[in-house]
Amino acid sequence: MAYKVPFIDPKLHYQNLKAEIDGAIQDCLCNGDLIYRHQLREFEKDLAEFVGVKYAVGLNSGYHALLFALMGIGVGPGDEVITVAHTFVATVSAIIHCGATPILIDVAPDYNIDADRIEAAITPRTKALLPVHLNGRVAAMDQIMSIARRHRISVVEDAAQALGATFNGQMAGSMGAAGCFSFYPFKVLGGFGDGGSLTTNDPQVAQMASRLRYNGEDRETGEYHYHGQTALLDNVQAAVLSVKLRHLPVWLKHRRGVAERYRRGLSGINNLALPHFPETGQWDIFQNYVIRTRARDRLREYLREAGVETLVHWPKPMWEHRGLGLKNPGLPETEAICREVISLPMSAETTFEQVDYTTGQIREFFSRRGPDRS
């Protein structure tokens, strides 16, 4: 159906940048710059500078960034990696594909890893912590890094949803041994297909990822160092992402403005939790604007009928997907979140008028239900 308020509007997004994007693509095609050309190298340089690290390695997905980051710090069979279950499955799949065991712990009220639960999960086999900066909010990295130093274990940041978010002035993806980003089309910085990047200050991690992405080959010498994978970020995608990266600071400011508009429109509704948490060092960029209510499913249907498109991340806990072979770790907060959260329209193109319509519909829904009903 055609929504009055779409979750995102990729057609409008393209139209707003058409001249710049078409020029970048045409430059690649007219010059035959298709694989590993200067556009990719320039994008990597600009991304590294934006994140505040020495190296960025362009990859074809956020999953490969996670996989290569873990491999780069030596995660392998017999190791354990502590992370969360309230995340996209790629976070856990990367651990498993290293031959390691994911140790899933619960999340805090802001949907990020509950740092107070980390130390209880550490064993002699713990090789790394893998916090997920969900919805554009950085996890409690001061506490996480302190724990990691104390136990001499590495930290890999899943920053797929947090490009541009900061903690105490440091960018997501710049604090651990490596940061992992996704350029899936609906991210704050999205391509016209899949894509990702690993960021790091460690030259060995960067070199390993650079080789692994190209079937294990060192492109400068032609020597093969590993049985690698085909995971290079396409050159044309890199050119498009370079265009978009120049606009990203303005888009992030707009997202925070949209989030504030939602806050004003939705404050004071009983039994509705908003994603405005104490910014104890965090500067959130609102990849998703996630509200929480026990009436989630009924609210979502009401909004659909009113022409407002929403998404749910994720409708059931990861371990309930039997094909993944995960044991139930007993995480009550994760289970409750899966039942209760809903993401509202949020993008660089979302207008205040669309926000006002959406908040008006939500207020109407709750007014019909009465003040004390969950």
Fold classified for 10-242:
Aspartate Aminotransferase; domain 2 (3.40.640)
Architecture per CATH, domain 248-369, reads as Alpha-Beta Complex (3.90)
- Looking at residue 334, its pLDDT comes to 98
Q: What is the pTM of this model?
A: 0.97
Indicate if the alpha-carbon torsion angle 216, 98, 157, 343 is positive or negative.
Answer: positive
The residues spanned by each domain of the chain are: 10-242, 248-369
Q: What is the mean pLDDT of the chain?
A: 97
- Closest by CA to 361, choosing from 286, 281, 304, is 304
pLDDT tens per residue across span 141-160: 999 999 999 999 999 999 99
- Looking at residue 213, its pLDDT comes to 98
pLDDT level of residue 373 (50, 70, 90 thresholds): low
pLDDT tens per residue across span 49-89: 999 999 999 999 999 999 999 999 999 999 999 999 999 99
Q: Is 274 left (phi over 0), alpha (psi -120 to 50) or beta?
A: beta
| Helix 38-51 vs helix 235-266: crossing angle, to nearest 10 | 30
The pair of structure tokens assigned to 78 is: 């017999």
Using alpha carbons only, what angle is made at residue 111 by residues 166 and 358, rounded to the nearest 5 degrees?
A: 90
Q: What is the mean pLDDT of residues 277-304?
A: 96
Distance CA 21, CA 24 (A): 5
pLDDT level of residue 368 (50, 70, 90 thresholds): confident
Beta strand pairing call for 178-182 and 154-158: parallel
- Closest by CA to 33, choosing from 243, 240, 235, is 235
CB 285 within 8 A of CB 165: yes
- Looking at residue 278, its pLDDT comes to 85
pLDDT level of residue 279 (50, 70, 90 thresholds): confident
- Looking at residue 171, its pLDDT comes to 98
Phi, psi of 261 (to 5 degrees): -65, -40
- Looking at residue 135, its pLDDT comes to 98
